[in-house]
Copies of this chain bind each other. A is one copy, B any other.
């Protein structure tokens, strides 16, 4: 009987311990529930409903953890993309830093405009000029040297309006969304038109997304031996453009499975959302709409917002989103705060 009693005691104590552990876990979870920086409303509800459905074991919409793939655009979805893409700000600063080694740039567009701080002249050089600037600043060095240049730049470069580091301009509601998904067994990926190496320098510490889960546009690299040491040299040749139809192509190429959750903010995300939507079972497709010129920016031109060449959200995309029941995260309405509290030094 002593033995039996001991067993019972052990079992009772183990149960007590389990109950205690559950209670502690509940206390540790945010008392306000998930997504505290999101205002209550249909968008927040649609996210929580979706996650609840796909994680309910035995439920009709249950998805095994391995298949819980969530993909996020970066510029304008996870952080600020105005007035110009951060990577383009980096490229412009690199042109300035490299100018003494390129005397020919003084009389050669688009470099001349940059060196003269002539942003109108730079804009006039158009896409061709942008490609030349990226080629000049993103190739001809080893991947190791490039990564160092990017990291050094992020440590000091400030956003022209908010006067803080670019990595401080990530969206707090989206950080919470990434955390919430991961806490529910999702694997989170970035799928961006931005350069993959550029993003990998900060994605892990900024978003908790490791390098191998960052997908982006990429140039060709070439393996070479320098003084008997192997290096990868960045070549001035595009391997892959991860934008528009390139997003589902990149997802297939890198991940090899279809996401069940995707979030973007512009016409370049349309195909990623269509590809996500076309899979079996329940799906979540979301778009950030920039509606808040005071706290961030307002641009579309969807819904009568000002037009923008950066992060264009067309009326056609809005019509498709509404027609198909995709969720819209309207910054002004849906986001209680925009930037992480300690860093929102506007």
Residues of A whose CB lies within 8 Å of any CB of B are 9-10, 12-14, 16-17, 66, 143, 187, 196-197, 200, 204, 210-214, 218, 220-223, 229-230, 232, 239-240, 245-246, 248-249, 252-257, 271, 274-275, 278
Contact = CB atoms under 8 A, between A and B. Distances in A.
Contacts of A255: 211-212
Contact of A222 (B13, B210, B245): B245
A221 B200 contact: no
Given A248-B230, A249-B222, A214 B256 contact: yes
A230 B274 contact: yes
A248 B232 contact: yes
Contacts of A229: 278
A291 B252 CA distance: 38
Contacts of A16: 10
7 contacts: A12-B13, A14-B17, A211-B255, A212-B257, A221-B249, A222-B249, A223-B249
A232 B212 contact: no
Interface of A is mostly: helix
Contacts of A239: 239-240, 253
Q: Which of A17, A197, A204, A220 has its CB near the most chain B CB atoms (within 10 A)?
A: A17
A223 B200 contact: no
Given A10-B17, A223-B245, A278-B230, A256 B212 contact: yes
A196 B245 contact: no
Given A143-B252, A230-B278, A232-B248, A223 B271 contact: yes
Given A10-B16, A253-B239, A275 B214 contact: no
B230 A275 contact: yes
A221 B275 CA distance: 14
B196 A253 contact: yes
A246 B257 CA distance: 23
Contacts of A232: 248-249, 252, 275
Contacts of A252: 143, 221, 232
Nearest to A253: B218
A4 to B, nearest CB: 14
A257 B211 contact: yes
Nearest to A211: B256
A9 B249 CA distance: 59
Contacts of A248: 223, 230, 232
Contact of A221 (B13, B213, B218, B253): B253
Given A13-B14, A214-B256, 10 more contacts: A9-B13, A66-B204, A143-B252, A218-B253, A222-B245, A223-B246, A223-B275, A230-B271, A230-B274, A232-B249
A274 B230 CA distance: 7
Contacts of A256: 196-197, 200, 211-212, 214
A39 B49 CA distance: 53
